[in-house]
Amino acid sequence: MKKIILSLLLLISATQISAQLNVQVHHDLGNAIYGDELSNRPQWTATVENYKADKWGSTYFFVDANFADNTMESAYAEFSRELRFWEAPLAAHVEYNGGLSGSGSYNDAYLAGVAYNWANKDFSRTLSVQMLYKYLANQQIGTHHSWQTTVVWGIHFADGLCTFSGYADLWHDNSVNGNLVLGSEPQFWFNLSALDSVDDEFKLSVGAEVELTNNLVWPSDGTNNRFYAIPTLALKWQF
């Protein structure tokens, strides 16, 4: 646990603090549910996530550090930039995804396309739909070119006490059964600062996530060809 906390502090120190920065710690229940089938899955994930809007668009990223037996086994990150110089809710979107483990890089991809973004007046409801070209850098020759559809949402309700947020990615990949990969991570949070008895500056949230995937998770037998629903228990601090 000390190494997890230290890694979080290092990630935060390398990040420009803004109103949309948060850090999360997730305890993964995949091994408890699926047993030896997911015995290679990390038990803990520390996440730094940040969103920042400016007059030209917005920048978003998250970095996941995955731990097993108190040792960081891998890290995965996604960085995106959107540009908009007009009033319409459409933006140009570019993105990089990639991970690093002891065996080298994995899931490297470059994406570009268009995003439709919507929010209500108080931003308690947000939605983004993205249509993207995807270049799969680690694929065999002839299978690099792909596409991806992404939906990102956020809903705050019960006077800010509860948040339901997450994303869903669907993309084409010739190397998997059915040629489609699904990855989605809906999250539900209780925001303690919304309680009358808790100070507004105490920005701790308690919640859970469910990782829904098809043809994405690699089990112990090395065949990523099935559906998984893997929950986590989580804490989040909003800066």
What CATH code is carried by the domain that includes residue 158?
Answer: 2.40.160.40
Is the pTM value of this prediction over 0.85? yes
104 — pLDDT class (breaks 50, 70, 90) = confident
Identify whether the C-beta of residue 162 lies closer than 8 Å to the C-beta of residue 172: no
Q: Mean pLDDT over residues 9-29, rounded?
A: 71
What is the reported pLDDT for 220?
84
Mean pLDDT of 28-40: 94
Say what the pLDDT of residue 107 is. 82
Q: How many domains does the chain have?
A: 1
Model confidence at 206: pLDDT above 80:
yes
Please, are residues 210 and 229 in contact by the beta-carbon 8 Å criterion?
yes
Q: What is the tens place of the pLDDT at every residue in 147-205?
A: 999 999 999 999 999 999 999 999 999 888 899 999 999 999 999 999 999 999 999 99
Please, which pLDDT band fits residue 6 given cuts at 50, 70 and 90?
Answer: very low
How many CB atoms are closer than 10 A to CB 49?
A: 18
Q: Is the dihedral of CA 226, 78, 187, 231 positive or negative?
A: positive
Separation CA 113–CA 148 (nearest Å): 9
State the average pLDDT over residues 87-103.
92
Range of the domain at 184: 2-238
Token duo for residue 21: 């920065």
Rounded alpha-carbon distances, angstroms, from residue 217 to 62, 82, 173, 231: 19, 28, 14, 13
Q: What is the mean pLDDT of the chain?
A: 90
- Is the pLDDT at 5 greater than 50? The verdict is no
Q: In the chain, pLDDT over 70 holds for what percent of residues? A: 91
d(CA 102, CA 217): 17
Q: What is the pLDDT of residue 2?
A: 45
* pLDDT for residue 136 is more than 80: yes
